[in-house]
Amino acid sequence: MKKTIAILLVLVSAFSLVFAAGAKEATVTKEVENAVEEIIAEVYKGADYVDPIKGWAKYDALVASIKAETDTAKRTQMMHEAEDILMSNWCVIPIYYYNDLYMQKSYVSGVYSNPFATKFFQYATLSNGSTTLRINLASEPDYLDPALNSSVDGACLAAASFAGLYTYNAQGVTAPALAEGYTVSADGLTYTVKLKSGLKWSDGSALTAADFEYSWKRAVSPATAADYEYMFSGFAGYDEGDLAVKAIDDTTLEFKLIAPCAYIEDLMAFPTFFPVKQAAVESYADWLTSPGGWCQEAGFVSNGAFVCTAWNHDVSMTYEKNPYYYDADNVKIEKLEFMLSADDNAIFAAYNAGNLDLIDSVPTDEVANLIASNNPEFHVVDELGTYYVAFNAKSSLFDGKTPAQAACIREAFSILIDRDYIVENIGQTGQVAANAFIPLGMADGNGGIFKETAEAGYYDAYAINKDPAGTVNKAIALLKAAGYKFENGKLSSETPISLTYLTNTSSGHIAIAESIQQDLATVGINLSIQQQDWNVFLEERKNGNFDFAREGWIADFNDPINMLEMWTTTSGNNDCQFGR
């Protein structure tokens, strides 16, 4: 795809010669229109382009090969090829690379996060004399079962109430948790993990290696339907439905891989790899058909620093210190109280009134003031992730269109979006406009960086600012190639485009939706915005009940495969419905 971008750059130059800067309503000449259609035909016949519905098996096979590849240089090249395929159909439209902003009272210390946005509260202290930390992360969580969670707020809750073999320390580096350590066979494929002795669940019962064997096999079971089950795809036996993990004895766990894995400790620290107690899971009456039901109310058995003791749905949650936690002696906080809300203004007001100690969001219209005043309680930290918008490849918008025409429609949408406006006026905290899905600064798995500069990517993220007339007319030409008619620079009433954009209820996301709405209106596209509560929003996206939606992906570990394997056909995080 990067080769075909060079062809399109020639096209952009042609537009610059034909259209005067600022002439957003200029008419595309027949000569340029024909050239566009020829180049479009060439691009969507290229080696990188893959039909996102019928041809996606090629992508699936490439990701599987990457997972099994032992030559790290070749593996890195293959991951570049996979991103080329992903970006070729324009279903995934990157907007900017993430950073994380939050507010924390000056009397709070000891809270930290890893590079993947999971916050850890177990070693927090409060110098104001309180032993209760009051927090807002988000609204009603979707799942508390660590195998089923796929959201950042859910990962933070999982890290508070569950513990895995490994965790992250305050420096963002993996460190042993329930594990003492591990040994690896000479071929790098067989791992033997030694657990700490005397581990217990929050009900005081023994926690053993058998709990990990059960939990990992449960996580990949089709009955569990875990979004992240594919994270076990590097394990031997995964494809045969017989995961190669077994408890040798109470404190020894063995598992086998199909290829050496440099990020295995990150996996062992990830919520999907956390243990759950079999008796607790299966005591729920409908556990076979509702696998997360066992922990949808307070009082469920866990093994982390805190236990959920109260849950007033859509209002609040309370977590209290777990005396059986393996490191309980170093946990000084007695209680975590969570306000469940997505109303940024209400959250900010509660923080300013002294009712919250830490909040994970700030109203968009308050960010500039917080920066200007150099407020010491306002924090911005780097993250590895990408904020993007996405199309459902199966949307009715593409009915009657060829795969190439559908890609033309999506590309037109992408180039019309003013990313510079979004990062400068909505994000406001130094986000970088994105022109690729894999984020800036991510390691390449071969000792280097996958994407060294913000300029390297698949399109010019600032084209709509630098050449508005040329960019708008390129979008018009793309839509014409997809069969749409125009009158005076706007879509004709004969061939309108109307669709719904799905987002959750947060001021920043809504502001971005409204900005995109205005950008698309430049050529007459009618975009309506539908807001949904957080847990409903997650399920609707996952089930493909949308045309166009706001998305975001913060990496689970520092390797591009994490950003690529989520788009395989069977992945529970494949919101675009590729291959289905």
Residue 460 lies in a domain: yes
Q: How far apart are CA 205 and CA 239, in angstroms?
A: 33
Q: Which residues contact 368 (CB under 8 A, 6 or more apart)?
A: 428
92 and 183 assigned to the same domain: no
Could you tell me the residue range of the domain that residue 416 belongs to?
2-98+382-567
Residue 321 lies in a domain: yes
410 and 547 assigned to the same domain: yes
- CATH number reported for the structural domain that contains residue 471 in this entry: 3.10.105.10
Backbone angles phi, psi at 265, to 5 degrees: -65, -35
- CATH number reported for the structural domain that contains residue 307 in this entry: 3.40.190.10
Q: How far apart are CA 150 and CA 577, in angstroms?
A: 17
- DSSP-assigned beta bridge partners for residue 501: 529, 548
Q: How far apart are CA 276 and CA 145, in angstroms?
A: 8
Residue 16 lies in a domain: yes
Q: For strand 190-195 and strand 252-256, is the pairing parallel, antiparallel, or unpaired?
A: antiparallel
Residue 427 lies in a domain: yes
Q: Structure tokens of 381?
A: 């930290």
119 and 210 assigned to the same domain: yes
- DSSP-assigned beta bridge partners for residue 530: 502
Angle at 435 between CA 429 and CA 436, to 5 degrees: 110
161 and 251 assigned to the same domain: yes
Contact predicate 130/108, CB 8 Å: no
38 and 123 assigned to the same domain: no
115 and 183 assigned to the same domain: yes
Domain boundary (287, 316, 342) is at: 342
Q: Which stretches in the chain have pLDDT values below 50? A: 2-7, 9-26
Q: For strand 92-104 and strand 358-359, is the pairing parallel, antiparallel, or unpaired?
A: antiparallel
Q: How far apart are CA 418 and CA 423, in angstroms?
A: 9
Reference 213, options 184, 235, 185; nearest CA is 235
298 and 221 assigned to the same domain: yes
> Which helix H or strand E contains 512, and what residues bound it?
helix 507-521
Work out the angle between the directed axes of helices 403-416 and 30-43 (0-180°, nearest 10): 110
Domain boundary (290, 318, 342) is at: 342
In 323-404, which ranges are E strands? 335-339, 358-359, 378-391
Domain boundary (342, 360, 393) is at: 342
Contact predicate 14/35, CB 8 Å: yes
Measure Cα distances from 199 to 193, 301, 321, 326, 523 in Å. 14, 14, 16, 6, 62
What number of other Cβ atoms are within 10 A of residue 85's Cβ? Answer: 23
Angle at 364 between CA 359 and CA 370, to 5 degrees: 70
SS3 123: coil
Residue 355 lies in a domain: no
- Determine the pLDDT at residue 181: 97
What is the DSSP annotation of 518-572?
A: HHHHTTT-EEEEEEE-HHHHHHHHHTT--SEEEEEEE-SSSSTHHHHGGGSTT-T
| Contacts within 8 Å (CB) and 24+ apart, 449-454 | 450/76, 450/79, 450/80, 450/560
286 and 394 assigned to the same domain: no
Q: How far apart are CA 311 and CA 316, in angstroms?
A: 6
Residue 302 lies in a domain: yes
Reference 101, options 441, 359, 426; nearest CA is 359
Length of the chain (residues): 580
162: left (phi over 0), alpha (psi -120 to 50) or beta: beta
What is the DSSP annotation of 28-73?
A: PPHHHHHHHHHHHHHHTTSSS---TTTSTHHHHHHHHHHHH---HH
Look at the alpha carbons of 109, 114, 116, 118 in this order and tell me if their dihedral is positive or negative. negative
SS3 423: helix
138 and 20 assigned to the same domain: no
Residue 296 lies in a domain: yes
Q: How far apart are CA 333 and CA 345, in angstroms?
A: 27
Contact predicate 433/96, CB 8 Å: yes
Q: How many domains does the chain have?
A: 2
Q: pTM for this one?
A: 0.89
- The CA dihedral of 45, 46, 51, 52, to the nearest 10 degrees, is -150
Task: Report which DSSP code applies to 449.
Answer: B
- Determine the pLDDT at residue 5: 47
pLDDT digits 0-9 by tens, 361-420: 999 999 999 999 999 999 998 889 999 999 999 999 999 999 999 999 999 999 999 999
Burial status of residue 461 (CB atoms within 10 A of its CB: 0-12, 13-18, 19 or more): buried
309 and 440 assigned to the same domain: no
Which amino acid is located at 66 in the chain? Answer: I
- Determine the pLDDT at residue 454: 85
410 and 302 assigned to the same domain: no
- Determine the pLDDT at residue 35: 65
SS3 154: helix
Task: Report which DSSP code applies to 303.
Answer: -
Reference 409, options 433, 393, 421, 420; nearest CA is 393
Residue 14 lies in a domain: yes
Q: How far apart are CA 81 and CA 92, in angstroms?
A: 16
534 and 397 assigned to the same domain: yes
